[in-house]
Amino acid sequence: MVASAQKIVISGYYGFRNSGDEAVLQSILNALRKQSQAAGITVEPVVLSIDPEWTTSTYGVKSVHRMKLGEVRQAIAESAGLISGGGSLLQDVTSSKTIPYYLGILKLAQWLGKPTFIYAQGIGPVNRKLFHPLIKSVFRKSTYVSVRDEQSRSLLESMGLSPNNIQVVPDPVMGLELEQIAESTGVSSADTASGPKTVGISVRFWEESRHELNAIAEGLLKACAQTPFDLRFLPFHHPIDNEASRYVMQKLEKEAAALGGRVSIREDALHPQQMLREVAECDVLIGMRLHSLIYAAGRRVPLMGVSYDPKIDHFLERIRSKPVGSTGTLEADKVAAETLLLLEQGEAWKQEREPVIASLALEAEAPARWIVEYLRRKG
């Protein structure tokens, strides 16, 4: 017998058209649905989004505007609890307003007497020490805390939280499966099987000098000169990644075409499933965006990461890899050499990492299992 529905509010960086964060949401929704069905309860997600209409139409769930405090408060008041995450919500590198917002949502839920669940978050960097006691206070009152790497747990421990109360789990997107959809990507499986191999590229702006983007462009050209391949640019955060992609494309488009490689950009892959399919069709992926690397690992696509943030290094370490370089010191020759190596030895790369990647994918739903079991017991 299925119990009455329990609403659960989900807070995160949703509705901004960032493919990585949208994939986090899709993964959480999938995991909650799967685990609640197994537990015999009904969970109704309510997502806090900057674009509630888009979020509702995309995922088929209720959504309220994340900046309309009255609506947010009402949604939480009517719920059985609040999920915060996943993603890098508690960091002060991109903005000093990020941590206060997400802690504020958590604190509001706690004031309303609702259980709060921290779902596979990547914590930090937190450079402003004044945030440390605030994070500690809110997390100590949370019913469940999970983070996506040991470094996040260590940072929370340095703030005064007990590591025994923090579960380390994979990023939720490691469990995202490729669904059968009617949408065509414009590249048929026959094309990818018979034609040149495809290298996917996910870039973003970081260094003011554009050193890393110039090095990627030069490295890809050097590799293409030895083994022609197609280049598929995959912007994960619209529209800024589109601009970064086109910057690199302008550096190499004519020369790559002359060397026999097609250059394209997939600007319409807005749904996580569309982007996951794009990544799955690549033979190698070079990525700056964390979730481009997670997509690739999940689909067993050999990858190389360019480090601009510790979260890149932490994820690569979990799958027994290292970055090809950092944004400030990236070398074109290393990009070229690693691209050619992965194109040649892709199967060996997959076989070596299959056990660890399979394990991460299996454990990605651990937070959803815990939360659903909590709701089942309380219900």
Question: All domains of the chain, ordered by start, with CATH?
Answer: 6-175+364-378 (3.40.50.2000), 189-360 (3.40.50.2000)
CA 301 to mean position of chain CA atoms: 16
Give the contacts of 315 (CB within 8 A, at least 6 positions apart): 149, 171, 290, 293, 294, 305
In the 8-state DSSP scheme, what is residue 238? T
The pLDDT tens digits for 165-199 are: 999 999 999 999 998 644 444 444 334 456 799 99
The full length of the chain comes to: 379
To the nearest whole percent, how much of the chain has pLDDT over 70? 95
Average pLDDT value over all residues in the chain: 94
Query: Residue 111: which of 90, 138, 83, 130 has the closest Cα?
Result: 138
pLDDT of residue 348 exceeding 60 = yes
The pLDDT of 142-162, averaged and rounded, is 97
Quote the CA–CA distance of 46 and 37 in Å, as a whole number: 18
- Helix spans in the chain (H): 19-39, 52-59, 69-77, 98-111, 131-140, 150-158, 189-194, 211-226, 240-258, 272-280, 290-298, 310-318, 332-344, 346-363, 366-378
Tell me the pTM: 0.90
Tokens of 278: 């794009």
The pLDDT of 40-47, averaged and rounded, is 97
pLDDT at 180: 63
Tokens of 14: 């949703």
Q: How confident is the model at residue 310 (pLDDT cuts 50, 70, 90)?
A: very high
